[in-house]
């Protein structure tokens, strides 16, 4: 956001006291830069096969924190638009956001959200609480309601490690609707067109106190089930070596599982599916 003043100096807007919200600063001074501005006139709706859409993403709590994962496929109607899309992104040291929906708007919203959290911490001198992080993201989604009603919805999934929780640090998960409603989920949740199948798999496989390896295998099994029944969700692509993104957030911070680890677990899961195409049974 360069100033119109000569010499490239920052304008007075940057030195005027205001709120700790960067998105509010943009809305006041450069609203055209917000990804939530309405792109079409009233009554015009986006064609569903003209913009890439991404699915499926999920999160689950495990022994050390919370895990968040997503497949890699983006579709435009019945076409595969991208095979290696990254739908899981760190928001700050202890928070991650994944998305389903219109890819271009979602990526811009994720970037704005990352700046929002960093801006707040610099202005206030302390990190935002996890509940406030969910509220801020809900506000951004609500600002996108006009575009969602025109067919350009973005539905994120928020996961993080709440270091300020009264009962000690723990993993937390929030889901949202297109109107900006925020809903805290216990244990696990999924978003996107493949989410009913992913949630069904997680309901079968989840148990309290899962290790990182158990949680990762459950996440991969859930994404595999989603891809098995939803054409917009991509499973592990062994030939191209494209595998789901799996990340964890613990008291130590955000960590994306290394590609070799994700590949090893994905290959193990696919091999298991040769003898059990419908996946493992629920634990007794």
The residues annotated as belonging to the active site are: 55
Count how many Cα atoms sit within 13 Å of the Cα of residue 259 in the half-sphere of its side chain.
Answer: 5
Q: Is 76 helix (H, G, I), strand (E, B) or coil?
A: strand
Whole-number Å distance between alpha carbons of 143 and 102 = 15
**3-state DSSP: the chain helix, strand, coil percent, rounded to 5?**
35, 25, 40
Residues contacting 133, CB < 8 A, separation 6+: 91, 95, 117, 158, 160
Q: Do 40 and 68 meet the contact criterion of CB atoms below 8 Å apart?
A: no
Which residues 6+ apart lie within 8 Å of 12 measured at CB? none
CA–CA separation, 267 and 242 (whole Å): 11
User: What distance in Å separates the CA atoms of residue 147 and residue 151, rounded to the nearest whole number?
Assistant: 6
């Amino acid at each position: 956001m360069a100033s119109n003043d000569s010499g490239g100096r920052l304008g007075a807007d940057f030195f005027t006291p205001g709120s700790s919200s960067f998105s509010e600063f943009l809305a006041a001074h450069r609203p055209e830069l917000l990804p939530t501005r309405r792109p079409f006139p009233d009554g015009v709706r986006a064609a569903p096969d003209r913009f890439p859409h991404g699915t499926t993403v999920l999160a689950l709590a495990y022994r050390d924190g919370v895990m968040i994962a997503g497949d890699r496929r983006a579709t435009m109607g019945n076409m595969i638009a991208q095979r290696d899309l990254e739908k899981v992104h760190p928001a700050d040291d202890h928070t991650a956001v994944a998305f389903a929906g219109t890819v271009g708007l979602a990526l811009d919203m994720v970037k704005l959200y990352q700046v929002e959290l960093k801006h707040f911490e610099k202005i206030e001198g302390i990190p935002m609480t996890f509940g406030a992080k969910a509220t801020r993201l809900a506000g951004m989604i609500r600002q996108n309601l006009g575009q969602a009603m025109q067919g350009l919805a973005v539905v994120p999934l928020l996961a993080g490690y709440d270091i300020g929780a009264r009962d000690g640090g723990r993993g937390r998960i929030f889901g949202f609707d297109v109107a900006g409603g925020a809903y805290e989920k216990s244990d696990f949740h999924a978003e996107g067109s493949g989410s009913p199948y992913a949630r069904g798999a997680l309901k079968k496989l989840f148990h309290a106190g899962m290790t990182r390896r158990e949680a990762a295998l459950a996440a991969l099994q859930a994404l595999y089930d989603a891809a098995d029944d939803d054409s917009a969700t991509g499973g592990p692509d062994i030939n191209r070596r494209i595998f789901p993104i799996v990340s964890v957030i613990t008291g130590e911070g955000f960590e994306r599982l290394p590609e070799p680890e994700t590949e090893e677990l994905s290959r193990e899961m696919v091999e298991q599916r040769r003898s059990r195409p419908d996946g493992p049974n629920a634990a007794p």
